[in-house]
Amino acid sequence: MTTIALQGAEFFAYHGFYPEEQKIGCRFLVDITVDFIPRTEPADDELKHTVDYEKVYYMACEEMKHSRKLIETVAQAILDRIKRKYPYVESIRVEIKKLNPPLLGRVAHSAVTVNYNKQ
């Protein structure tokens, strides 16, 4: 089993339930972990035989551009794109953290996590 991961990919986006959140925007951190069984031996040294974390990053970029009310929806959209592109993955974990969410007190971040496990 091989794992690729992106940790702390930072985006400025317009996700939020309240209209002002969708106007003002907010900073988000995205963590993505993908487990898969390599299609060839590592000695093959070919990018086309692995999960390309650069492509995974661009999938996250594209989904973060689409304003949504719930970050759960964004996380699921990222996960779904990874599954479609790499059907041989065994598991995917996508966590999105909303930095300084608009709450009454100081909160570093709120977060959601979606998971996929092939069974």
For residue 69, indicate whether it is catalytic.
no
Residue in the block written with tokens 């487990």:
35
C-alpha distance from residue 72 to each of 16, 38, 64 (Å) = 11, 29, 12
Residue carrying the six token digits 């995974």: 56
How far apart are the C-alpha atoms of 98 and 29, rounded to whole Å?
7
CA distance 97 to 81: 19
> Could you say which of 23, 48, 98, 118 is catalytic?
98
What residues are annotated to the active site? 98
